[in-house]
Amino acid sequence: MFLNDQETSTDLLYYETIARTVVRFIRETPSAPVTIGVHGDWGAGKSSVLKMTEAAFQGEERVLCLWFNGWTFEGFEDAKTVVIETLIDELRRARPTSAKVAEAAKKLLKRVDWLKVARKSAGFAFTAITGVPSFDQLRDVADIVTAFVKRPQDQISVDDLKSMAGHAQDYLKAATEDAERLPEHIHAFRSEFEELIDAAELDRLVVIVDDLDRCLPKTA
């Protein structure tokens, strides 16, 4: 006997009451962010509950419901950033003719790019103090060194070493400055994300993340 494991928006397991509860809870908390978890064993029907929840919001112009499969982001080093970028792109697709949405999305994506760089730099500033750099950070320093040694037969002078040290110090200084500005940019990101939601003329943004139970704890 073969069993179909495909999720469905049709209530075959009498779980519609659960989906209705989730939908009602979302509708009753419009002004505050809320996180709802649907728990159950593998194959219990969690994805179907989420599909029924998604179906309940279809056709509502001022509600955007986005579906993500968490397992597809398992291989990414920074899964949260990938989700945020995808979220911004989906908002832009939902309002393809809106110049305000396009401009707000473009502005926000630039902010996300900065945060990605800042997180990397801030990590370097932190590990420079602890003395335990990561592989990526070591690679960045190696790039600085490689810039001075183009060919194996090159001879490195004292001036070359001083110049290389100066470049490394500049890198650490920039990393420290980025780390200090990180909270400022996080607050700015939140503000600009609200601007994007307002530009899209949405009352609610519902983000459904499925298959989190298949992800490693670090990703989830």
Q: How many CA atoms lie within 13 A of 168 on its CB side?
A: 17
Alpha helices in 72-208 (DSSP H): 79-94, 99-130, 135-146, 158-199
d(CA 118, CA 116): 5
- pLDDT confidence bin for 103, thresholds 50/70/90: very high
- Cβ atoms within 10 Å of 29's Cβ, excluding its own: 12
Give Cβ neighbours of residue 90 (< 8 Å, ≥ 6 apart): 64, 66
Euclidean distance between CA atoms 164 and 170, whole angstroms: 10
- Domain locations along the chain: 106-196
β-partners of residue 204 are 63
Look at residue 11 and tell me whether its pLDDT is greater than 60. Answer: no
Give the separation between CA 78 and CA 136, rounded to whole angstroms: 13
**Tokens matching residue 146:** 């490689």
Q: Is 52 exposed, middle or buried (0-12, 13-18, 19+ CB in 10 A)?
A: buried
The tens digit of pLDDT for each residue in 147-198 reads: 555 544 455 555 655 555 555 555 555 555 555 667 787 888 899 999 999 9
- What are 66's strand-pairing partners? 207
Task: Enter the pTM of the model.
Answer: 0.65
What pLDDT shows up at residue 115?
A: 74
Closest listed residue to residue 18, CA positions, set 42, 58, 57, 45: 45
Residue 146 reports pLDDT greater than 80: no
Residue 57 above 90 pLDDT? Answer: yes
From 101, 110, 111, select the one nearest 202 (Cα to Cα).
101
- Would you say residue 130 has pLDDT above 50? no
Q: Which two tokens stand for residue 159?
A: 């001036």
DSSP 8-state assignment for residue 51: H
- In sequence order, what are the residues at sequence separation of 6 or more whose Cβ sits closer than 8 angstroms to the Cβ of residue 121? 174, 175, 178, 179
Local structure of 18: helix, strand or coil: helix
Encoded tokens for 66: 């986005």
Per-residue pLDDT band at 112 (split at 50, 70, 90): confident
Contacts with 102 (C-beta within 8 Å, 6 or more apart), sequence order? 92
Return the top range by mean pLDDT from 45-49, 134-138, 174-178: 45-49
